A and B are shown apart, each in its own frame.
Chain A
């Protein structure tokens, strides 16, 4: 049984933002993290703002230069969007292995991001695509990069009076590979042991842009920037890929827990980054042949 709480049900975004500004409250979207947490803690007296009626926060819009995803978009919506396999291949690969069907139908993109977990699977793909977040409050809107949004373990740049309303990014250009791999104890319904997303752009045989985002191996999902820098400026070779994979493993700060040891996680980062970069090199390189 859930402990007693208060649920406010705004019918417009303005009303929701006013509620967030004037009452100590937490936005409630899919509830797949929040409700089990509440049940485990057994703390009564919380106040939540239901986003269920705010349909304007739901949906995905594609233009040539930008993909705009409403905050309440679910993991299932990502899987069912016909343009997503080209707009964000890594996001589609991720959604396929995110929890199970029922959770995918309820869990939202914004909820996964704002919860701030290092194992949030939505984050590595979006971080590898340089996604930006738009936050709204009664005072106005601001846009910041997802990279700047993630501060520390379950700590984000969202102020209590703010609501994450949308996520956007530029779809990958020709010659870009965007890949994700989740290492877990089982294929579905598992918390990630190591999550890796890479975005690699190859132009005229040289790597012009590299993004490597790692999940579950530090207090937040983060970009292995030294590893990225090791790749840019020349062709990818076994040597540069090996250097980047090692740099990514070194930048990781994993912990021992019930799912895996820190050593295992660091080793897995090395192996998975090498594997994904090799695949990215082949995929992105072949788009020019």
Chain B
């Protein structure tokens, strides 16, 4: 192996799509996707435990839900990231966002973006989830306020709305 191959590259240009928008950043290897997203202004992605326990930083990476605190920005190169903002906003809320509001599923709200992204991944995988499926889907997301009950009921309601949309479209 040549010296060039083992030579330390400290920074690299990384192209990622965030909520459909192309972004270009130059970062060192130890920068996480979470840090990059927040530097890009995506403050809806929350920083909690930074060790994969709480799920506050969950985003979709090419459609799969991951903890952005455990994802290196380099490993997100060329890939597509969706944050809770990418699902919808006040003018065009996603059924999950509407259901979380209607069911009072947020108290302090810090866990909510991650909860919604884990729920989105769950419903993409299992459109008609049982309560057990929902609990399993959200087992990597901690909420210290709500006791989870209203989060689970919101996801069941959103699943129902999404299924109705599916049959009428």
Number of residues in B with C-beta < 8 Å to the partner? 37
* CB proximity of B71 to chain A, nearest CB, Å: 7
Given known A-B contacts A31-B72, A101-B118, A187-B139, A6 and B29 have beta carbons under 8 A apart: yes
Residue from the list A7, A39, A106 in contact with B29, Cβ < 8 A:
A7
Chain B residues positioned under 8 Å from A104 (CB to CB): 140
Given known A-B contacts A100-B140, A101-B122, A106 and B67 have beta carbons under 8 A apart: yes
Residue from the list B5, B29, B51, B64 in contact with A105, Cβ < 8 A:
B64
Residue from the list A2, A23, A36, A102 in contact with B55, Cβ < 8 A:
A102
Interface pair A189/B142, CB less than 8 Å apart: yes
Q: In this assembly, does A233 line the interface, its C-beta being within 8 Å of a C-beta of chain B?
A: no
* CB proximity of A25 to chain B, nearest CB, Å: 9
Task: Pick the most buried of B31, B58, B65, B135: most chain A CB atoms within 10 A of its CB.
Answer: B65
Residue from the list A3, A23, A30, A188 in contact with B139, Cβ < 8 A:
A188
Chain A residues positioned under 8 Å from B66 (CB to CB): 102, 105-106
Interface pair B52/A99, CB less than 8 Å apart: yes
Interface pair A6/B8, CB less than 8 Å apart: yes
* CB proximity of A204 to chain B, nearest CB, Å: 38
Chain B residues positioned under 8 Å from A2 (CB to CB): 30-32
Interface pair B139/A100, CB less than 8 Å apart: yes
CA of A76 to CA of B118, assembled, Å: 14
Q: In this assembly, does A68 line the interface, its C-beta being within 8 Å of a C-beta of chain B?
A: no
Q: In this assembly, does B141 line the interface, its C-beta being within 8 Å of a C-beta of chain A?
A: yes
Q: Which residue of B lies closest to A9 (CB)?
A: B74
Given known A-B contacts A188-B135, A189-B53, A3 and B30 have beta carbons under 8 A apart: yes
- Tell me the residues in window 1-16 of chain B with beta carbons closer than 8 Å to chain A beta carbons: 1, 5-6, 8-9
Residue from the list A5, A23, A102 in contact with B140, Cβ < 8 A:
A102
Chain B residues positioned under 8 Å from A58 (CB to CB): none
Given known A-B contacts A101-B65, A101-B118, A7 and B1 have beta carbons under 8 A apart: no
Q: In this assembly, does B50 line the interface, its C-beta being within 8 Å of a C-beta of chain A?
A: yes
Given known A-B contacts A101-B137, A102-B118, A7 and B70 have beta carbons under 8 A apart: no
Q: Which residue of B lies closest to A96 (CB)?
A: B136
Interface pair A106/B6, CB less than 8 Å apart: no
Interface of B is mostly: mixed
* CB proximity of B129 to chain A, nearest CB, Å: 12
Given known A-B contacts A4-B28, A8-B6, A103-B140, A39 and B74 have beta carbons under 8 A apart: no
CA of A5 to CA of B74, assembled, Å: 13
- Tell me the residues in window 241-259 of chain A with beta carbons closer than 8 Å to chain B beta carbons: none
Interface pair A7/B74, CB less than 8 Å apart: yes
CA of A51 to CA of B114, assembled, Å: 27
CA of A50 to CA of B75, assembled, Å: 9
Given known A-B contacts A103-B52, A105-B65, A188-B139, A36 and B30 have beta carbons under 8 A apart: no
Q: Which residue of B lies closest to A80 (CB)?
A: B125
Q: In this assembly, does A52 line the interface, its C-beta being within 8 Å of a C-beta of chain B?
A: yes
Chain A residues positioned under 8 Å from B32 (CB to CB): 2, 35
* CB proximity of A78 to chain B, nearest CB, Å: 14
Q: In this assembly, does A22 line the interface, its C-beta being within 8 Å of a C-beta of chain B?
A: yes
* CB proximity of B41 to chain A, nearest CB, Å: 19
Q: In this assembly, does A19 line the interface, its C-beta being within 8 Å of a C-beta of chain B?
A: yes
* CB proximity of A30 to chain B, nearest CB, Å: 8
Interface pair A23/B70, CB less than 8 Å apart: no
CA of A8 to CA of B28, assembled, Å: 12
* CB proximity of A192 to chain B, nearest CB, Å: 14
CA of A3 to CA of B141, assembled, Å: 26
CA of A8 to CA of B65, assembled, Å: 25
CA of A18 to CA of B1, assembled, Å: 7
- Besides A50-B74, A101-B122, 7 other A-B contacts (C-beta < 8 A): A6-B8, A31-B72, A35-B72, A99-B140, A101-B121, A102-B67, A102-B140
Closest 9 CB pairs of A and B: A100-B140, A188-B139, A7-B29, A36-B51, A2-B30, A102-B67, A100-B139, A6-B8, A102-B140
Q: Can you give 5 A-B contacts (C-beta < 8 A)?
A: A1-B30, A4-B30, A7-B74, A101-B139, A105-B64
B residues at A contact (CB < 8 Å): 1, 5-6, 8-9, 28-32, 35, 50-53, 55, 58, 64-67, 70-72, 74-75, 118, 121-122, 135-142
